[in-house]
């Protein structure tokens, strides 16, 4: 605590220690904001998608039927400043690298991107923390890469996708990855990806409703396959308010209790499905936050913007509306702004010296 006060004192924010979440164990002011859901768009990744045949229309690259935004590191930091975001974890959005169908090439592209993520975070150590990109569905390569990111480069966490080329979280093929993550007490951010059967989108952008459904599918598969029960302590964030999970959890738990689906206890299934952290990206309306608050509570909601896919003009009012739309107390907002994120990412605490 003394060291902590000294550090922040030197930075001229000594008073923040007294003004923290209503107790004195913490140094950050209640509005210190951590965005767990922001993306980088490295040029090498864009180029690889173009080479792999992702469509470019009128000069704009599309992935999953959605334009891949322009991005620069400087723009990322200045947007954080404008949004009042103190610290962001940075990850690569879907489709990751799973369009690369060869393990050696997938690993090499993931490695290039991870080295860039490392350089971005190193350029702004008090503002950015990198989440490792894994070359899934290639499991051995993915385990190697997560060791490199977490053990050698000291990334703050790992990014996963709901599925990688059709291999879903919950698939026992991914056990070596989850086991290596659990051994390291790693922090995991799960971003949705396109499902295998994109015909059901009726030609609309996949992120609109297929991303939320894929998020449900991943958690549902982890429940029914028993994988979450095998790795119960991994701290996992699911993006976009957990997709449709707050609304569907009781239905899924009810079905999972049927004898021929495994006869799981409804109470235990509900507890498992509510045992994740969910972020506020595209999930900041009163309707969504009321459901989130009721399902997981304020202590498992983390701030997310989805910048730059969600542009400043949408991210700003969404952040500003969280408190009112969720009818959250100042104490709750302290948790949603940064406390919960620091629970998930203890490495950020260490970096910030708190
Ligand atoms: C194509 O891009 C240019 C420049 O960005 C823009 O002015 C124009 O409206 C776009 N056309 C279509 C059909 O989207
Ligand atoms: C966090 O960001 C806010 C808004 O930009 C700023 O006023 C505050 O000083 C920052 N806090 C720290 C500890 O950097
Ligand atoms: C990716 O999915 C496609 C379509 O199901 C399949 O043909 C291909 O073998 C998969 N690639 C890998 C590396 O699993
Ligand atoms: C895992 O992280 C939590 C904090 O998030 C900490 O309480 C716990 O001691 C850690 N466990 C190990 C084995 O490092
Ligand atoms: C907001 O929360 C307060 C305190 O928990 C509660 O008394 C009040 O009824 C809530 N308002 C609404 C509109 O839910």
Task: Please give the pLDDT value at position 25.
Answer: 57
Residue nearest to atom 13 of ligand 4 (CA): 185
Please name the residue that has the structure tokens 């009726």: 202
Take residue 189 and report the two structure tokens written for it.
């951010």
Share of the chain above pLDDT 90, in %: 90
pTM of structure: 0.93
Atom of ligand 3 nearest to the CA of 138: 13
Cα separations (Å) of 262 from 253, 257, 259, 265?
Answer: 11, 7, 5, 9
Count of CB atoms situated within 10 Å of the CB of 51:
10
Atom of ligand 4 nearest to the CA of 187: 5
Instruction: Tell whether the model's pLDDT for residue 15 goes beyond 60.
Output: no
Smallest-distance ligand from the CA of 104: 3
Query: pLDDT class for 21, splitting at 50, 70, 90?
Result: confident
pLDDT in tens, 283-332: 999 999 999 999 999 999 999 999 999 999 999 999 999 999 999 999 99
Q: Do 76 and 292 meet the contact criterion of CB atoms below 8 Å apart?
A: no
Ligand 3 neighbourhood includes 165 CB (under 6 angstroms): yes
- Domain 31-352, CATH among 3.40.50.1000, 3.20.20.140, 3.40.190.10, 2.170.120.40: 3.20.20.140
308 upstream amide cis, omega within 30 of 0: yes
pLDDT in tens, 48-76: 999 999 999 999 999 999 999 999 999 99
Smallest-distance ligand from the CA of 14: 2
């Amino acid at each position: 605590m003394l060291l902590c006060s000294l550090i922040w004192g030197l930075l001229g924010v000594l008073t923040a220690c007294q003004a923290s979440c209503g107790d004195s164990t913490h140094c950050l002011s209640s509005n210190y904001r951590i965005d767990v859901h922001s993306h980088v768009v490295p040029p090498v990744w864009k180029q690889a998608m173009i080479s792999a045949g992702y469509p470019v229309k009128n000069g704009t690259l599309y992935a999953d039927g959605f334009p891949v935004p322009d991005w620069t590191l400087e723009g990322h930091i200045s947007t954080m400043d404008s949004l009042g975001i103190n610290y962001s974890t940075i990850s690569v959005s879907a489709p990751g690298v799973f369009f690369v169908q060869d393990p050696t090439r997938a690993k090499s592209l993931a490695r290039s991107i991870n080295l860039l993520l490392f350089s971005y975070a190193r350029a702004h150590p008090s503002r950015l923390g990198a989440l490792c990109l894994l070359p899934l569905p290639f499991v051995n390569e993915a385990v190697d890469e997560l060791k490199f990111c977490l053990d050698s480069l000291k990334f703050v966490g790992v990014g996963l996708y709901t599925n990688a080329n059709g291999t879903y979280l919950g698939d026992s093929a991914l056990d070596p990855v989850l086991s290596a993550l659990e051994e390291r007490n790693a922090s995991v951010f799960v971003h949705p990806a396109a499902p295998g059967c994109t015909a059901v989108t009726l030609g609309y952008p996949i992120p609109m409703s297929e991303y939320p459904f894929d998020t449900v599918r991943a958690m549902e598969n982890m429940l029914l396959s028993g994988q979450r029960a095998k790795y119960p302590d991994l701290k996992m964030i699911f993006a976009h308010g957990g997709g449709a999970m707050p609304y569907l959890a009781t239905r899924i738990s009810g079905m999972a209790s049927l004898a021929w689906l495994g006869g799981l206890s409804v109470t235990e299934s509900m507890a498992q499905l509510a045992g994740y952290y969910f972020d506020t990206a595209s999930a900041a309306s009163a309707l969504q936050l009321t459901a989130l608050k009721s399902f997981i509570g304020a202590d498992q909601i983390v701030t997310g913007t989805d910048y730059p896919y969600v542009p400043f003009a949408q991210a700003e009012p969404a952040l500003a509306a969280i408190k009112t739309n969720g009818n959250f107390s100042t104490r709750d907002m302290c948790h949603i702004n940064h406390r919960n994120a620091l629970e998930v990412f203890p490495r950020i605490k260490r970096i910030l010296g708190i």
